[in-house]
Structure 1
Amino acid sequence: MEWYEAIDQVTPHVFRISTPDGSGSGWLVSRSQVDDLCVLATAAHVIDSAHYWEKPIRITHHQSGGTLLLRADQRAIIIDSAKDTAALIFNSGELHLPQNNPQLFQRDYHLKPGNEIGWLGYPAVQGADLCFFQGHVSAYLDRETSYLVDGVAINGVSGGPAFAKWGDDVEMIGLVSAYIPNRATGVVLPGVALIRDINQYHDYADRVRNLDDAQAQQSTPSEPPPPPETETQTRG
């Protein structure tokens, strides 16, 4: 499989996520087979301020162009701030979404260094639409359950899907969280992207039955943490 073929498989699951404070990327983890309940994966820092202040979140499905404005009572948000991951749960309504859920990488396994992966997202560059990035796994951080990847992740790409291809199959392996530049010499040099792994998303479809159930489980709003220090990393 060529990368353009893998992109064609992943793109139907990709969303732009916009809030009054900024924008990022996200992707469809799962959708219910009995109703229109959907779960989007994204980076926590993309939506944590909107969750805390009960601000609206606009999601735009890339393939169809369909959009929804989700107010606080129309969604549920489950956040893991330590891992910078979040799940946005909502009813899809009129959105024309793919019927199949994406294939997730096996729980409690991770890719070895040297494996090639790609990721998609909406960079905050004037005129840019959905963009593809690619690199190799440099290391897996066990304690952080995250990958360091020799590739870039610029503002707006946070929350976008990271994926690998095997033969004719594409598997989601995580989401974009941040970019860690090399500043050891006092100047900004190329660094590595930080990709959070997929483990926490395996059971979301089983955890919630409907929106009311999801809202009963959503994270208690808390003041978002300050952004990372610019000398160590920048968020995507």
Structure 2
Amino acid sequence: MPPVDDDTMKVLVVDDEVRLAQSVARGLRADGFTVDLTHDGISGRDAAMSGAYDAIVLDIMLPGLQGYRVLQQLREASVRTPVLMLTAKDGEYDEADAFDLGADDYLTKPFSFVVLIARLRSLVRRAASTRPSVLRAGDLELDPSRHRVTRAGTELTLTPREFELLAYLMRNADVVLSKTHLLHAVWDEAFDGDVNNVEIYVSYLRKKIDLPFGRSSIRTVRGAGYAFSPDGG
């Protein structure tokens, strides 16, 4: 099995035990990882939503928002970054809960740092082997696994909803999609909101992926909906 290239690995550590988190970060950096630290659930969730991480080390007992809820919100937003859960608890039900919510692995404190490194490398290898294909349209690229979008080499910051809308449009390039269709596909079939939400989010996307680059990737088809043009217009 080929080794993981740690130089390209970026890890988010979310743990309110500041000294432990800093110790973990030092060890990971010494092994070649790039590490970001947060110490509460809300800032951890926000960092995970907006950053391109190869793996997340997430404590369960966190102030602001517990790790279980952070994990649940990440998965609901289609953030598929591998998550290794940490907890001081030791019980099969905690482990089962973590896996049910979408955790990829689980370690109980205190843990061996050598084991943590090995588990993280294994998670990244598994994620790479099952990683969805990067979507490309000209100089626009969307990487579903890293939750990352670039245009002409410039990284763009999209909200989870904008990201999902763009991904759906790119997967259905040149297909005219109605607002109702997009609402059901990107929000969900049970969503009872206004179809004009789609128009609002298309506008947000255009301001981020098109206007700064002089492109027009998302066409309005009067009376029918929207279509994504792979060539960018």
Q: Name the one with the larger strand percent.
A: 1
Quick check: TM above 0.5? no
Greater RCO, CA 8 A, separation 6+: 1
**Higher Cα Rg, which structure:** 2
Q: Name the one with the larger helix percent.
A: 2
So what's the TM-score if we normalise by structure 1?
0.24
